[in-house]
Amino acid sequence: MQEKKVAVLFTGLIRDAALFERSVAEFAAQPCVTQIIFSTWHKDALDNGEFLQGLMQRYPLTVVTATDPKLVYDQYNGFRQSVTLRRGLEAVGEASHVLRTRTDTHIDPAVVQHLAAKDSRITDPMAPALRLFREKISTTCCSMLAPFYIDDILFFGHKEDLLKLCSMDYSEFRHPSSAKYAHYIRYYPPFRQHFPQFMHFVHNEIFATVVSAELRQLVLPKLMESREYALMLVIYYRLVSAFFCLDWGGYRSTFKGVAAEYTDGGADFRMDADQMNDSNAFFARGSVGDFDHPELRRLLGPAAESLRTVSDLRDAASGIDYAAFFSEVRNYAKQAFRFDQRLAEAKAMMRAGETVSQAFQTLCWLQPADPANTELMYLLALCYNSVGDIARAQPLLERCLETGAPFYSPAGQLLAEIMQQKSA
């Protein structure tokens, strides 16, 4: 098989100039690398102009810049990352394939030779009907329990395929509930047309991925025991197996100086959506219910077995009302947290005045159980406003109006006061 011509694309800000220069120099020495691109914001390039011009003189480095969109609701930078990724991909010249990395990430540059030489053909029989990618996209690992929570520190693929990972579908992703949203925005949109049920997970992913151990221990086991979520996971496993490759030749990266940690298919199973897996075999076997771990076999095996009788994977979830399913999950979480009672307690604390900080802690603790609750968001905004932090209060109030609160509601009135205060 002919070795691919590769462009290495760095995105991000220059926070460690020495590490960035080391990576540029190492990749420039690889025979298959024909171009190195750095995509960043105008300001970062201007702030580091002398340094970047020096690199461009010594290495085949192209620097492209974009205006930072600074979207109000892009709390976890998913859309901003799409902008710099697309800008960088548009600058690729003769190379057919791209390794996308970051300025704060390091990996042995020999990995690019491995990626360029390996066979990435898509052979799954459902692929021709879906027409998603030309080749498999290589990424380092994927979550075992959270669909489309796929690592995005490093990924490699055909340029035309990676352009499909630059979604600017702002409307459906404008209310992130956790930092994992940036991963869903990257990897899910190409599949959404054929598998729309995963959008319900994206809107409710906090119940699987929440940082709060207490909420996760209450809700994630309930999700895993359900037929609906089990079916969602085994469909996701099939998609990962068909369209992604987790083979990086044994090379491991460091991100911000910390070595990457993820497990293979033989590791002990944990009820934790942050458990990442780097085994192609795990996802291929899991999609047909073949698990080494007996608990995963019990939880997901029947759902995988049901796929054997489905001729078209797109029809596997037909008849399941995922909106109703996740509504039930949300109600369960609220009951488990005694949401209404504790929300009333927080309001009483705020009326008392001297216990606003305690009320704030209660509200933050409750929020994962119902992240779109406008009353809770309004109360959090009141807490921020009480200490003069209008920068945090305003987005919460704007989201209240975005999610249904009238402009003349208390949230709207407080937002008007803040906007007048800022314009004064």
DSSP letters for 332-350? HHHHHTTHHHHHHHHHHHH
Contacts of 364 (CB under 8 A, 6+ apart): 380
Ranges assigned E (strand) in 247-351: 254-255, 258-259, 276-277
What is the pLDDT at residue 268? 75
Q: Quick count: other Cβ atoms within 10 Å of Cβ 410?
A: 16
CA 56 to mean position of chain CA atoms: 32
**Residue 381 falls inside a structural domain:** yes
What is the pLDDT at residue 171? 62
Q: Cα(393)–Cα(409) distance, rounded to whole angstroms?
A: 15
Q: In this structure, are residues 37 and 159 in contact, taking their beta carbons and an 8 Å threshold? A: no
**Residue 311 falls inside a structural domain:** no
**Residue 75 falls inside a structural domain:** no
182, two tokens? 């940036």
Instruction: Using alpha carbons, select from 123, 83, 117 the residue that is nearest to residue 99.
Output: 117
Q: How many residues does the chain have?
A: 424
Q: In this structure, are residues 81 and 11 in contact, taking their beta carbons and an 8 Å threshold? A: yes
**Residue 382 falls inside a structural domain:** yes
Give me the number of domains the chain comprises. Answer: 1
Q: Where are the alpha helices (DSSP H) in 308-387?
A: 322-336, 339-352, 356-366, 374-386
271-280 pLDDT, tens digit per residue, is: 888 889 999 9
Q: In this structure, are residues 298 and 172 in contact, taking their beta carbons and an 8 Å threshold? A: no
**Residue 361 falls inside a structural domain:** yes
Q: Cα(302)–Cα(311) distance, rounded to whole angstroms?
A: 17
Q: In this structure, are residues 4 and 134 in contact, taking their beta carbons and an 8 Å threshold? A: no
For residue 351, CA distances in Å to 272, 355, 358, 366, 382 come to: 38, 8, 12, 18, 11
- Kindly report the backbone phi and psi dihedral angles of residue 351, in degrees, each rounded to the nearest multiple of 5, phi listed first: -65, -30
Between strands 258-259 and 254-255, the pairing is antiparallel
With a cut of 50, list the residues of the chain below it in pLDDT: none
Tell me which residue range forms the domain holding 367. 338-423
What is the pLDDT at residue 213? 73
Q: Is 17 left (phi over 0), alpha (psi -120 to 50) or beta?
A: alpha
Q: Quick count: other Cβ atoms within 10 Å of Cβ 343?
A: 22
Predicted model pTM: 0.91
Q: In this structure, are residues 249 and 280 in contact, taking their beta carbons and an 8 Å threshold? A: no
200, two tokens? 């319900």
**Residue 303 falls inside a structural domain:** no
**Residue 263 falls inside a structural domain:** no
**Residue 108 falls inside a structural domain:** no
What is the pLDDT at residue 215? 76
Identity (one letter) of the amino acid at 1? M
- CATH assignment of the domain containing 369: 1.25.40.10
